Amino acid sequence: MAALFNNLFGGSKPSASPIPAGDSDFADFAGAPEPEPLPLTSTVSQPSFTGFSSFPTGNAVPYTKWYNIHERYSLSDFKQEGVILVLIAIIVIIHLIGTNSNRKRAKKWIAAHAPVLQKEFALVGFGGRKPPTAEDVENEGLANDTLELPVDLLKEKSPQQFSTYATGRQNVAFLDVNLTLLKRYNPFSMIAEYGMSLFFESMPAPTEQVEAILYPFDGREALTVPGQAPGAHELRKDTKSGFDGFVWAIVNKETMKQLRDDRYDVSITTTKDSPKLPVWATVMSESAEITEYLLTPELIQAVEEAGELLNHLIITDQPIDQPLKLEETIPKKRIYLSMRVPSSGDYTKTLPIFEYFLRLTDVLVQGAHFRPEVLRKVRTTREDAIRKLQKADEEEKAEERNTEREKAKKLKRDLELKALDAKGQKKYLEKEKEKEMRKNQKKMTSRG
């Protein structure tokens, strides 16, 4: 009872039982001293990430090459990255050199043609500033390769395309000039284009060329020139800028076939060689009288000086693409000049034909008024095209009317059927069937 009372109410614990003398294992632990912690610098621990032998974890930094990038890697480990960087550097250098070369060629072209453009037009370029005159070039010594021109005189559309604009001349509304150079900044594309031109005739070899389009006033100065009242240009004979519409061209024979395939206006002309022109050039005209008037000695001399650098000179009032609608047949007079850029950069051969091109509207306004017999032949081609379009337009409208008529009849039939009961619908369908049969019999009888 006393032992139970002590256990329940926290009585004094019994003393430890003596260890038997015969149990040697417990005897060893009974006399062992209490463990003491070792100093921090002498403790060892297993590495948590290296997998190498244990190392001290005290204040000393452990040595491992994972902390030294120059010991982990060598230059041979970056061969692919090095090749990629070298290729990128080569591409960038080629692009910069090619782009800079094209800009130099474009500046050289505008430097040679700016005096001519300024002489003929009141405004050249896009910024409203005039280019240097011929006197400025001579006085200031700018007629060299380092000629500096206003930035807005020539606009860079892309690394291979440059353009300029001119306006402010009698008989001319405005002039657009586009200069297309080789893709020197992308030699791989150039090689591909040259290769494709060897296998496909429709893909000509890439060339550097100038495309100029001149838009005559054609008696419409009052619509564009401020200060001129409508009809004011008709009060004096010498202010009229209108001339007869026609299509006429001098074409390099190498590009004649492609030009005829690509342009509708040229396709309506007749090709005929002229003994006055070099053997590589031919005339495409709608009338021999038009050719006789336009083939002046000045033009013949300019064509001979340009040589095969001249692609074509076209005077037209018809669209380039074949008209598909009546409104596309409205005459719009333009003059086109296409020339190759000399590889040597010497523009003395092409400048005469370019100057004649700028003054060609004066020749047309002065004497391009032909006899009625000549214009009758010219109008016949245009009237035939207009009649074909009118016929096609009438057929299209008639088809649309028939479609609308059929839709209205079907709607009326459906409404009538819907308003009848089942018996009435049956009779309606039977009558419809009989009517269709009688119609077919009449067709068979008429054929017989």
Q: What is the mean pLDDT of the segment spanning 49-54?
A: 46
Higher pLDDT, 8 or 161: 161
What is the per-residue pLDDT for 144? Answer: 40
pLDDT of residue 54 exceeding 50, the answer is no
Q: What is the mean pLDDT of the segment spanning 48-52?
A: 46
Quick check: pTM over 0.75?
no
pLDDT digits (tens, 9 = 90+) for 399-448: 888 888 888 888 888 888 888 888 888 888 888 888 888 878 877 776 65
What is the per-residue pLDDT for 178? Answer: 95
pLDDT of residue 20 exceeding 70, the answer is no
Q: What is the mean pLDDT of the segment spanning 155-184?
A: 92
Q: What is the 3-state secondary structure (H, E, C) of the chain?
A: CHHHHHHHCCCCCCCCCCCCCCCHHHHHHHCCCCCCCCCHHHCEECCCCCCCCCEECCCCCCCCHHHCHHHHCCHHHHHHHHHHHHHHHHHHHHHHHHHHHHHHHHHHHHHHHHHHHHHHCCEECCCCCCCCCHHHHHHHCCCCCCCCCCHHHCEEEECCEEEEEEEEECCEEEEEEEEECCCCCCHHHHHHHHHHHHHCCCCCCCCCEEEEEEEECCCCHHHHCCCCCCCHHHCCHHHCCCCCCCCEEEEEHHHHHHHHHHCHHHHCCEEECCCCCCCCEEEEECCHHHHHHHCCHHHHHHHHHHHHHEEEEEEECCCCCCCCCHHHHCCCCEEEEEEECCCCCCCCCCHHHHHHHHHHHHHHHHHCCCCHHHHHHHHHHHHHHHHHHHHHHHHHHHHHHHHHHHHHHHHHHHHHHHHCCHHHHHHHHHHHHHHHHHHHHHHHHHHC
Higher pLDDT, 42 or 249: 249
Least confident of 152-156, 237-241, 308-312: 237-241
What is the per-residue pLDDT for 39? Answer: 55
What is the per-residue pLDDT for 36? Answer: 63
Mean pLDDT of the chain: 79
What is the per-residue pLDDT for 281? Answer: 95
Least confident of 45-49, 190-194, 216-220: 45-49
Q: What is the mean pLDDT of the segment spanning 60-71?
A: 66
- Grade residue 162 by pLDDT with cuts at 50, 70 and 90: very high
Higher pLDDT, 184 or 8: 184
Domain boundaries, the chain: 83-377, 378-441
pLDDT of residue 51 exceeding 70, the answer is no
pLDDT above 90 as % of the chain: 38
pLDDT digits (tens, 9 = 90+) for 383-399: 888 888 888 878 888 88
pLDDT of residue 29 exceeding 60, the answer is no
pLDDT of residue 4 exceeding 70, the answer is no
What is the per-residue pLDDT for 233? Answer: 42
CA gap 342, 362 in Å, rounded: 28
pLDDT of residue 89 exceeding 80, the answer is yes
